[in-house]
A and B are shown apart, each in its own frame.
Chain A
Amino acid sequence: MNKEIAIDLKNITKAYPGVVANKNVDFQVYKGEIHALVGENGAGKSTLMKILYGIEQPDEGEIFVNGSSEVISKVETAINLGIGMVHQEFTLVPSFTAPENIGLGQEPKNNRGLVDWKGLNNAVMDIAKKYGFEVDPGLKMIDASVGVQQRTEILKTLYRNANILILDEPTAVLTPQETDELFTVIRTLVDEGKTVIFITHKLREVMEIADRVTVMRAGEVQGVSETGNTSITELASQMVGREVFLQVKKDEAQPTEKILDVQDLWVHDARGLLAVKGIDLDIKKGEIVGIAGVEGNGQTELVEALTGLRKASKGKVMYLDEDIASSSPKNIRRKKIAHIPEDRTNTGLNTQLSIWENLIGNSYFRKPLSSRGIFNLKKVGEHANKLREDFDIRAPNVSLKVKSLSGGNQQKVVVARELSEDPSLTIASQPTRGVDIGNIEAIHEQLVQMRDEGGAVLLVSAELDEVMAVADRVGVMYEGQIVKWVNPKEVDQAQMGLYMAGVKD
């Protein structure tokens, strides 16, 4: 194997107030390899990559790119060194086409000083052809699928002559098919001599695509291995620092009486288009019903209609013996229906408020937290601190603002609050998004425990692994309808991928 070193980070240390994000980190990437960087949220992967990409400056340590020592004080420096980064959140102008987005900031000029659109188009198409990308030069990003947007981002780095590509959790937003396509693209890139750093916490993907893998935990490197010489279990325990059970341990469900019965539900989305087109769905006490599907197929609107955040256009939502379709969120919450929303920063949390203020959102009005409208702040503090410990929210105290927490810890605040008031029905939408593997396990266990104690759970997730592992029954949603009900034990991933793409039997 070619052992020329493309990136060599030596002894990197970076501290933020109250936390050391990187502690004496050594990180080496060989030229032409696919190197996975894995770790839990807050393990320091993002910080390390930000340092490499010039967004952050290390407190200590050295950076070598292609053998020479470099100080990367700003992003431009990194780009000039041939480093390109595709962020988790895309940085595309929605009303621009792929070539317009790719050329933005480095547009070729014609001799009158105007943008040479034709030259830009040709340049982009040439690069696309070289790496086997399909690009529709006239398609605006707002109309493009997530996969196409991501490829545009990758092309953008290639257009800027990147030789080393950093992909930050690139598969988080993709369907299984799109993930396969991305992997094909990555392999082509490497065949053409590029080097790829692949940040993820999905270990199955690491084993599939990467040559080597570096595991980080709590700001330190736990180990570097070749994927051929390691296993998912080993990597997982390195990441978490203990054994993790990748399978959700649960007994056969013991469903009893029906608690929710959705009949012929139709819902419009924010733009006034039909998003949910006649869904029938029932949930019994003591079972977890999963909804799988690529995001944007009506799951959001379905959940919002069930939780009172959106009016249903037609149909019934029978909860026990009462129709709660178009009831208010307040009424629905009073019936002990909990809701973990997919959008945590705007809906599930007020990030301006402190942790405790977010934790008591569904309990602030009851004794002993308050009485006659006045808080008992001592009891509130006890309640909040108990949830912080039970749900392993990593924060020094509950008076910190939620916005200072990492995404995974923010999600834990939402989950802690929603599961804390003993709900009869829990509607969980993407409950583990952005949460790291050890805590995913904990949240899954909590949902299963909820079920075993006679609660009902509706689990909506774009993570196929999650739905398949946790749910007892799974409905696949496609274009506003449930196209297939399956028993997760009886189908495989490939089959599910086809259902999710709208292919019927």
Chain B
Amino acid sequence: MDKFSFKDVLVTVAGLFITVFIAWVLITATGNNPSEVAKYLYEGGFKGTRNIANSLYQATPLILTAVATLVSFRVGMFNIGINGSMYVGALYAGWAGYRFTGLGHFSHVTLCIAIGMFVGAAWMLLPALLRVYAGVSEIISTIILNFVAVLFVSYMANGPFRADPIAPATPRILETAELKQIFPNSQFNTGFFIAVFVAILAHFVLNKTTFGYELRSGGDGLVGMYPSRFSSYLGIPSDRSAITGMLISGALGGLAGAIEVLGAVRYFFQELEFNQGFDGILIGILGKLEPIGAIIASLFYGAIKNGGFYVDYKTDVAREIIIVLISILIFFVSAQKIVKGLEKYPIVKKLDSIFSRKKM
């Protein structure tokens, strides 16, 4: 409610302009042609069915990890460990994908996803309990668990779940466990619709149900507030909210990993690398901690990311420069002081009062 205002739009646009300017300078300085880069960035992100499909594919896990982030933030917990949940969710969804035979397509996919989400949630149980019952900062424990997750899945892919004698990888999942790829030559798959559905569901639960209200009563800001005096004062058990929020967050991370394996990669291997759990934190914040905002920000981010791959493929510019650009953009967009500084201009004040009018 009352979250997106004209100022935010203005800052985002201003941030875009500054980013474009800095990009121009950087690309020119590295001896490349900025307008060419811009062209390929646009084409890679938005031009043609295949590129659009790939952009949406890139956005899929980001939507889920961004929602995972914002759910935890809004219950007052800072879950930085979504990447870990994503890894373990991917591993076990992949395991379920080859381990259970003789199932129908729908039931097999559902089972794999359920297992991935369950494992992702279970991964967050320890930091949640440590926070609630021992006062260990969830920021620290979840960061540590990210490293543990990488080593754990690497061990599992190399040991117990290893199938291939040459490469450390699990067997390929069965066809019944696959999320269908819709377009030729693109890893875009039906997982995208699951991600969008889950984000909309999260929007409904957080904002329109008493369960969501109880979860949010202890947090709802960019400040870790657990344990919330307000919740316990109202008779809402804030411990339970904190644990529930962390488990939901972990389950969504696990789901992101499961969709990657079931829809795109189709098996789990030691070198499989995820960083969407971290990108999700930025995107969650960029989307103002609202699930709908997370969808929009993820689509944007996914398009730029895919555009970056295309630039990398077509020119000499390394795709890392795209990551630099995205970082600069987020830096400016989240610069709250700039927003405050703008308030003194009458035109901004006026437009703001027009655009942020509310219903209730």
Contacts and interface: CB of A to CB of B under 8 A. Distances in A.
Interface string B267-281: 000000000000000
A24 interface: no
Interface in A319-360: 328-334, 339, 341, 343, 346-350, 352-354, 356-357, 360
Task: Report the interface size class on chain A.
Answer: 35 or more
B230 A375 contact: no
Contact of B210 (A329, A364, A385): A364
A308 B2 CA distance: 34
A373 B210 contact: yes
A90 interface: no
Interface stretch (B27-35, B112-120, B220-228, B298-306): B220-228
Nearest to B208: A375
Interface in B172-211: 208-211
Contacts of A356: 360
Contact of A375 (B1, B210, B216, B237): B210
Contacts of B219: 350, 352
Contact of B230 (A307, A349, A385): A349
Interface stretch (A224-232, A397-405, A453-461): A397-405
B349 A17 contact: yes
B217 A361 contact: yes
A384 B360 contact: yes
B359 A329 contact: no
Contacts of A352: 219-221, 223, 225
Contacts of B231: 350
Contacts, number: 93
A350 B210 contact: no
B134 interface: no
B147 interface: no
A354 B3 CA distance: 11
A348 B233 contact: yes
Interface size class of B (residues with CB under 8 A): 20 to 34
Contacts of B314: none
Contacts of A373: 209-211
Interface in B325-360: 343, 349, 352-353, 358-360
B232 interface: yes
B234 interface: yes
Contacts of A398: 360
- Select the residue from A16, A346, A352 with max chain B CB neighbours within 10 A: A352
B211 A361 contact: no
Contacts of A385: 360
Contact of A374 (B208, B217, B237): B208
Given A375-B208, A399-B358, A348 B213 contact: no
A118 B234 CA distance: 52
Contact of A347 (B2, B221, B233): B233
Given A350-B228, A381-B360, A399-B1, A330 B220 contact: no
A309 interface: yes
Given A352-B225, A361-B217, A347 B209 contact: no
Given A350-B217, A377-B208, 5 more contacts: A17-B343, A339-B233, A350-B220, A357-B213, A373-B209
Interface of A: 16-18, 307-309, 328-334, 339, 341, 343, 346-350, 352-354, 356-357, 360-362, 364-365, 370, 373-375, 377, 381, 384-385, 397-401
Interface of B: 1-2, 208-211, 213, 216-221, 223, 225, 228-237, 343, 349, 352-353, 358-360
30 contacts: A17-B343, A17-B349, A17-B353, A307-B233, A328-B235, A333-B234, A347-B230, A347-B233, A348-B230, A350-B220, A350-B228, A350-B230, A350-B231, A352-B219, A357-B213, A357-B216, A364-B210, A370-B210, A374-B208, A374-B209, A375-B208, A375-B209, A375-B210, A375-B213, A381-B359, A381-B360, A384-B360, A385-B360, A397-B358, A399-B360
